[in-house]
Amino acid sequence: MQEDTSQSLAPAIEQNRIYQNGWSNLRHLKSDTDLENLHSKKEWGKTVEKLEKKLELVEANYDKPLQAELLTILEEDQKYRKQIYETLKTHIDDSKEMQDLRKITFQKDSINLLKIKKILDEKGWVGKDKVGAQANNAIFLVIQHSDLETQRKYLPMMREAVTKGNANPGSLALLIDRIEIREGRKQIYGSQIGINPKDNTHYVLPLTDPDNVDKRRTEVSLGPISDYVKNWNLNWDVEKYKSELPELEKLHQ
């Protein structure tokens, strides 16, 4: 089975829907280039100051060194994936630029995985009450981008973390989808996107019970699949998808 860039980008896009509780990474807020045009506004300083005071109260009991480590890992995890996403707009998938970016991403992922494994084995799945939502999310993203054996190993730990409120059910759903696809089964929540090598178009990888996918997504706090697939310029038509599913399954064998 082929692993593709679309699958690796899917979790990051879903997280925009999962985390709707405001900015919790002040460092990212200050450094995000998309917000630079706001820095000259007089309200910007007041906004940052208010957030700093709010975070001081919220983060009083945080493990600050661990939070900082996880936020750095998060930035490393997303940095090159964002570059891949942008590069794909102007370069073909097997171009030298893409190959170089994937090589760097793989190297960074290997380093980040060693760090995350150490944290998980020593501290367990650290909740957002200890490190904040974004730092907590870093744990999931690194595992989501790891090898199948690692995903299998930590899936039970993440399931338990969800029951304790230390991991997000939407993130767990994405990890389950990734494992299902990798093991040759149909995904459950529709989060994994493939590329058809025949025409280089995107498609939702084989999905079980397409009629009820939104019900399952709602149960884990994911938005409608029709909104999600728009990230790949796809229109969700469940009847059309069901008619195409046998062919899609052949593509992924």
> What single letter denotes the amino acid at residue 180?
E
- In 216-237, which positions are buried (b, 16+ CB within 10 angstroms) versus exposed (e)? bbeebbbeebeebbebbebebe
- pTM score of the predicted model: 0.77
What torsion do the CA atoms of 239, 192, 28, 118 make, to the nearest 10 degrees?
150
For residue 27, the model assigns a pLDDT of 56
Task: Tell me the torsion sign for CA atoms 157, 163, 168, 172.
Answer: positive
Predicted confidence at residue 47, as pLDDT, reads 75
Residue 24, pLDDT > 60, answer no
**What is the predicted pLDDT for the residue at 29?**
59
Please state, as a whole number, how many other Cβ atoms lie within 10 Å of the Cβ of residue 91: 15
For residue 32, name the pLDDT band (cuts at 50, 70, 90): low
**How far is the C-alpha of 121 from the C-alpha of 118, rounded, in Å?**
5
CB atoms within 10 A of CB 173: 25
User: What tokens were used for 187?
Assistant: 């995904």
Residue 137 reports pLDDT greater than 90? yes
Whether residue 253 is predicted with pLDDT greater than 90 in this model: the reply is: no
Query: Which of 61-65, 102-106, 219-223 is the most confident on average?
Result: 219-223
Flag whether pLDDT at 164 surpasses 90: yes
The most confident of 53-57, 79-83, 90-94, 131-135, by mean pLDDT: 131-135
**Which of 77, 97, 90, 79 has its CA nearest to residue 33?**
79
What are the b/e assignments for 24-49, b being 16+ CB within 10 Å? bbbeeeeeeeeeeeeeeeeeeeeebe
Residue 33 has pLDDT above 50, yes or no: yes
For residue 182, the one-letter residue type is: R
Q: How many CB atoms lie within 10 A of CB 93?
A: 16
